[in-house]
Amino acid sequence: MRAHAIINPTAGGGRAGKTWPHVRAILQGAGWELSESITQQRGHAMELAASTPAEVVIAVGGDGTVHEVANGLFRANRDGVLGLIPNGTGSDFARALGLPRDPLAAAQALVSARPRRVDVGEVNGRSFLTIAGAGFDGEVARLVNTWPKVLSGTVMYVLGILKMLITYRPVDVEITLDGVSHRERLFLIAVGNTAWNAGGMWTVPAARADDGLLHTVIAGPLTRLETLIVLPKVFSGRHLEHPKVRQVHAHEIRVTGARPLAIQADGESIGTLPAVFTVRPQALTVLAPAG
């Protein structure tokens, strides 16, 4: 197997850079021919993925690194194969594929992994693999992305939630699901290509990476107290039991509002409303464990 690895050395508080030599040894010991690049700043993994001629590209880092590598492949209009070595503050796409979160175990799994076609979400021209959204989670992502990534993704996200609760207020928006529109007061909308985000929150339990749909959780005007009650239930999927939280599915979702609410994709801040979410079925080949 020939592959090119793109390593984010700062992912996971620097763990990705420290563990890469051990991961490389495992892959080379299995007969892989590897070349590699090291990212220098935010957005660099996208450039590297777009320019490498390798058929297999391995993203070494967290979901932000995977997000950039996938977007680089798409922007170069390349039908490359994406491999993952999860080693960031959050590794939710690896979880969805059934890859171990330990980077050395993931390397062992990658040796015997098989190609698998998965869906890709898109919001305003930006591809995403896990969950994208707008409203409260977009504002939290915008805040958290300004912080040093020295803690786990879940801890940082929870801290961001607590800080954002002080100032955030639900907003009147129009949501259009496959052409059917309605207005409501929105706390957040989370559009799932896969089910998890923020380092293990089971935010969109119905989401699957190969069903050609965007499963979506919409939360109405939660109060601060209701948010604090609902938040711990996200890890079990029981947040859907709250009367202001529901799950729907569509192929295209449009969200407009009077305020420029932040949009996030795979935890990366990518702009503000309006937003158009779509799905590209079976658009990406990944290396995933059999079964």
The alpha carbon of residue 7 and the mean position of all alpha carbons in its chain are separated, in whole angstroms, by 17
Of 136, 4, 190, the residue nearest 81 (C-alpha): 4
Interval 159-177: pLDDT, tens: 888 899 999 999 999 999 9
Q: Do the Cβ atoms of 255 and 174 come closer than 8 Å?
A: yes
Identify the sign of the CA torsion 161, 274, 130, 89.
Answer: negative
- For the chain, where do the domains classified as CATH 3.40.50.10330 start and end? 2-112
Judge whether residue 98 has pLDDT over 90: yes
DSSP single-letter state for residue 46: H
- Identify any residues that bridge with 36 across adjacent strands, giving them in sequence order: 5
The counts of H helices and E strands in the chain are 8, 16
Please, what CATH class does the domain formed by 2-112 belong to? Answer: alpha beta
Cβ partners under 8 Å of residue 196, min gap 6: 92, 95, 96, 130, 131, 202, 203
Query: Which tokens hold the place of 242?
Result: 């709250």
The CATH number of the structural domain formed by 128-281 is: 2.60.200.40
Q: What is the mean pLDDT of residues 202-227?
A: 97
Does residue 64 or residue 78 have the better pLDDT?
64
Q: What is the mean pLDDT of residues 40-68?
A: 95
Radius of gyration of the chain (CA): 18
- For the chain, where do the domains classified as CATH 2.60.200.40 start and end? 128-281
CA-to-CA dists, residue 186 to 87, 174, 225, 277, angstroms: 34, 9, 16, 17
Interval 250-264: pLDDT, tens: 999 999 998 999 999
pLDDT at 287: 97
pLDDT at 72: 97
Query: 3-state class of 137 per DSSP?
Result: helix
In whole numbers, what is the pLDDT of the chain averaged over residues? 94
Q: What is the mean pLDDT of residues 183-188?
A: 97
How many CA atoms are closer than 13 Å to the CA of 200, on its beta-carbon side?
Answer: 13
In this prediction, residue 158 has a pLDDT band, given cuts at 50, 70 and 90, of confident
Residue 54 backbone class (left: φ over 0; alpha: ψ -120 to 50; beta: rest)? beta
